[in-house]
Amino acid sequence: MWWRVDLAGEDRGWFVHQKDTMAKHFTKKEARFQIEFRPSEQASAHGGQVAVNALLNQFGLWQRIKQAPALEVRPHKGKGDDPVVCAAQTLFCVTSGGVSLADAERLDEDASFKELLGLKKCPAQSALGQWLRQAGAAGGVEALRQINRDFAQWILQKAPPPRYLHSGRLECFFDDTQIEVSGPSYLDAIAQHFGAWSVSYNKWVEPLEKKAQEWPETEWSAVEKTRWRDGTEHQAQDAWFRYQPGGCASPKLFAVVRPKSLTGDLFWRYAFLTCQEQTGWPRLAFEHHRLKGDKERAFSDLLSDLDLHPPPCQDLQAHRMFYALATLAYNALMALKLIPLPESEQPKRVRTWIRHLLLVPVEITRHARQWKACLHLPAGWIAWWRGYLAQWLPQGRQLGTIAAGG
C-alpha cells in the first residue's frame, strides 16, 4: 500500500511504502450456475454404510442372524422378507441417523443404497413392524442380546486396549436401577463377570444403616471437614464392613460414608457403595466411583445423538426388538470408532462422525457386468478409507484416486 505524505504543509510528492498487515476480506457472493435434476438410481448420500457393512461382515453378523431360529418367523422360508433383510434395514437406518420405521421404509427409495449393500428391496414399515412383533414374541430379543454380547467381546478383542481400559483394567460402574429391577442377587452376576466394579447401593438400606449405627467408633476413619458446593461445612467419616444382602451367595464388601452438617444436623446420614475386594481407604472407593459420571454421559450418545427417546411403534415386543437392534447399531458405530478410527477422532461424539464419515456421497455405475462405487470424500480422509477397505473389504477392488481438481 502506498501513502502520499505531506511534510510541513507542503506536498512534496513523496510516497512512503508500508506493508499491508490487514487480513484479507471474505464475504458471501451468490454463485451463478446451472441446476440439473437426475433420479437417484446412480447416487446416494449413504456411501459410508459400506464401512458399517464391511465391519459387520467381518464379525459374521448376517450369518448369525440366519442361524437364529427365533428371528425366522415366516411360515414359508422361500416367501416374504428374510430376517437378514429386516435386521440389516433397521441397522443401516439407525447408523445413518434414522429414528423410526418410516425412516427405514424410505431407504427403499434409494436404489444406489440398496445396490451398494446387496438389498434388492426394503420392506415397508408395516411389514417391518410385523416382523419386529412376531420375532419379539418368539424370543428374538434374547437372540439379539446374545449376538450383541458376542459382538461386544469381538470388539474388545479387536480394539487397542488403551482405548477402553482405565489404569489397565476393564471397569464397570452400576447404579441401583438394576438392583431394584433384579434384586440384590444381581451382585453375584456382576462379581462373576467383572474384576473391577462398583455399585451405588441406595435400595433396601435399612439393615445397612442399622449395622453402620452399631459399628464401633474405632472402625471409622478420623473426622474430615469439607465444604460442599452449596457453601455449607460438613464433617464426614468412612469405613469398610461386610454384609450379605438377601439372595446373594456370599457377603459383599461395602464402603460407607457418614456426613453431618456442622450447623444443622443432629444425626449422621449414611451412603453405601459395594465393590470388588480391595484394600485402602474407603473414601478412595467413593472418589473412584464418581468417575461413572463421565460414563453416564455416554448414554447421551445412544439416546440423544441417535435420537432414540421416542418409541418406534405401539407394540411392546416391537419396541424391545427395535431397541435391541438399535443397541447393536450403536455398538457397530462404537466398533468403527474404537478399532479403525485414528486417535484424534476418539473424543468426538457419535453424531459428529456419522455426519462426517458415514453420510458421504457415493455414485454407482455399471461397466461390463461389474458395479463400480465412487465415493466422494474429503481429501484428508481418502488415505484412511483406502486403508480401511483394504483391511475390512478385501473382495473390493480399489481403483486409483482422482487428484483434486482433476
* CB environment 82-101: b (16+ within 10 A), e (fewer): bbbbbbbbbbbbbbbbbbbb
Measured distance CA(251)–CA(254) in Å, rounded: 9
What value does the mean pLDDT take over residues 153-173?
86
More confident residue, 25 or 1: 25
Tell me the pLDDT tens digit for each residue of 56-87.
999 999 999 999 999 999 988 878 889 999 99
Residue with cell 446373594: 248
Percent of the chain with pLDDT over 70: 90
The verdict on 236 and 329 lying in the same domain is no
Measured distance CA(241)–CA(255) in Å, rounded: 7
Torsion over CA: 172, 293, 274, 287 (sign): positive
pLDDT exceeds 70 at position 14: no
pLDDT of residue 313: 67
The verdict on 187 and 126 lying in the same domain is no
pLDDT of residue 18: 52
pLDDT of residue 214: 92
Q: Does residue 390 lie in a domain region?
A: no
Q: Does residue 296 lie in a domain region?
A: no
- Between β-strands 171-174 and 196-200, what pairing exists: parallel, antiparallel or unpaired? parallel
Q: Do the beta carbons of residue 198 and residue 278 sit within 8 Å?
A: no
The verdict on 190 and 219 lying in the same domain is yes
pLDDT of residue 402: 41
Q: Does residue 351 lie in a domain region?
A: yes
Q: Does residue 12 lie in a domain region?
A: no
pTM as predicted = 0.75
Give the end of a domain, one of 341, 357, 373: 357
Give the CA count within 13 Å in the CB-facing half-sphere of 135: 32
Tell me the pLDDT tens digit for each residue of 288-342.
888 777 677 677 777 777 887 766 667 888 889 999 999 999 999 999 999 999 9
The verdict on 88 and 132 lying in the same domain is yes
Q: Any idea what the Cα angle at residue 120 is, between residues 385 and 118, rounded to 5°?
A: 25
For residue 261, what are the domain limits?
167-290
More confident residue, 200 or 130: 130
Q: Count structural domains, the chain.
A: 2
- 126-140, 153-167, 293-307 — most confident range: 126-140
Mean pLDDT over the full length of the chain:
84
pLDDT of residue 311: 66
Give the CA count within 13 Å in the CB-facing half-sphere of 121: 8
Q: Do the beta carbons of residue 275 and residue 255 sit within 8 Å?
A: yes
Residue 251 confidence class, pLDDT cut points 50, 70, 90: very high
The verdict on 100 and 199 lying in the same domain is no
pLDDT exceeds 60 at position 404: no
More confident residue, 398 or 315: 315
pLDDT exceeds 80 at position 140: yes
The verdict on 272 and 324 lying in the same domain is no
Q: Does residue 369 lie in a domain region?
A: no
Percent of the chain with pLDDT over 90: 41
Give the end of a domain, one of 241, 262, 290: 290
Give the end of a domain, one of 342, 357, 372: 357
The verdict on 208 and 149 lying in the same domain is no
Q: Do the beta carbons of residue 233 and residue 197 sit within 8 Å?
A: no
pLDDT exceeds 80 at position 163: yes
The verdict on 262 and 181 lying in the same domain is yes
Q: Does residue 123 lie in a domain region?
A: yes
The verdict on 116 and 225 lying in the same domain is no
- 152-156, 303-307, 346-350 — most confident range: 152-156
The verdict on 91 and 142 lying in the same domain is yes
The verdict on 273 and 224 lying in the same domain is yes
What value does the mean pLDDT take over residues 26-31?
84
Q: Does residue 61 lie in a domain region?
A: yes
What value does the mean pLDDT take over residues 383-402?
77
Measured distance CA(129)–CA(109) in Å, rounded: 18
More confident residue, 307 or 386: 386
The verdict on 139 and 171 lying in the same domain is no
Q: Does residue 286 lie in a domain region?
A: yes
Lowest mean pLDDT among 8-17, 228-237, 326-335: 8-17
